[in-house]
Amino acid sequence: MNGFEEILREKGFPGVGAVVRCRKYDSLWRVMDREVWRRVEEDPLTREARVVPTFYVSFWRIEPGVPPGVGHMLGHLYTLNDDSFSSTWEVVSYH
């Protein structure tokens, strides 16, 4: 298990293909995620760019009669200190 997978598991992120329910709108979404690195300000001493592990999780809305991959999509960047996933989403099924 690499570092990203371990962090995703600790944070409670479901894997690609899992179904989650949006707590605010009571709608079902399928998860598609990937790891990215987010650039932050330069280090003041070395003048080198610094990066932090950030997870971009995209969601595709499941709608009756709409083929997979067609329709509404949204995404959000989550960082190591961001615990908002569990307050926004409820895991319905793991893929």
**CA separation for the pair 33, 53 (Å, rounded):** 14
The DSSP bridge partners found for residue 54 are 36, 79
User: Are 31 and 59 a contacting pair, CB within 8 Å?
Assistant: yes
Strand order from edge to edge, sheet including 73-79: 73-79, 49-61, 27-42, 19-22, 89-93
Could you tell me which residue, 20 or 83, shows the higher pLDDT? 20
Residue-range definition of the domain harbouring residue 14:
3-93
pLDDT, tens digit (0-9, with 9 covering 90-100), for 16-52: 889 999 999 999 999 986 667 666 777 788 888 777 7
How many Cβ atoms from other residues are within 10 Å of residue 20's Cβ? 22
86 three-state secondary structure: helix
Q: How many domains does the chain have?
A: 1
pTM (two decimals):
0.74
Start-to-end CA distance of the chain, whole Å, equals 18
In the predicted structure, residue 80 carries a pLDDT above the cut 80: no
